[in-house]
Amino acid sequence: MIFGRSERGKPPVEPVTFKILVAGGFGVGKTTLVGAVSEIRPLRTEELLTEAGRPIDDTSCVEGKHTTTVAMDFGRITLREDLVLYLFGTPGQERFWFMWDELSEGALGAVVLADTRRLEDSFAAVDYFERRSIPFVVGVNCFEGSARYPIQDVRMALDLDENVPLLLCDARDRESVKEVLIGVVQHAMAYAAERRQTVTT
């Protein structure tokens, strides 16, 4: 089936749409992730880094980074003919965090992208989603040249609950990103089912 059309004799499928946030620290790969998987040309709100921002935009470990997201990234991916995800990448710098509340409104779940060279930059996003009871997974973006650590060591360093999925990924690779997004949907569905069960018992 081609999206938006039905096979002969079958009624058209009305897809279910979900909103997924992509969060994490400055320069961790959020814009890259959205762009790698989006089936439409991503909407980006990037501006050039300036000398004025140098004292607050830490470019250590990301020396090649020359732009930064100032509002959001937006993309879309059809996982199945009946399931479409809208992706909203959040700005990473602290001065833009006020936008997170608006972007998270109505979200099914989130991906917290992490860089093992700067794990501390992920703490704010992890804390944000924990405090608001928004289900999330952590995707460890495997940058070239960065050290690889056992999953359990990264989990301990981020102080994650055991029920939070932690996945290795490459934000540049479409199939790798799709696996992370499938993980978010599955985790969010299980989280919602568990909460419903808690309410009814």
**If pLDDT is split at 50, 70 and 90, which confidence band does 13 have?**
confident
- In 3D space, the residue among 33, 26, 46, 25 whose CA is nearest the CA of residue 184 turns out to be 33
pTM over 0.95, yes/no: no
Would the pLDDT of 115 be above 80?
A: yes
Can you tell me whether residue 195 is helix, strand or coil? helix
Kindly give the interhelix angle for 30-37 and 174-200, rounded to the nearest 10 degrees.
100
Q: What percent of the chain has pLDDT over 70?
A: 78
Per domain, the residue ranges of the chain are 16-200
Would the pLDDT of 95 be above 60?
A: yes
For residue 196, the model assigns a pLDDT of: 87
Report the CATH architecture of 16-200: 3-Layer(aba) Sandwich (3.40)
The 8-class DSSP code of residue 24 comes to E
From residue 102, alpha-carbon distances to 21, 54, 55, 71 in Å are: 11, 27, 27, 11
Per-range mean pLDDT, top range of 61-65, 100-104, 179-183: 179-183
Any idea which of 24-33, 69-78, 79-88 has the lowest mean pLDDT?
A: 69-78
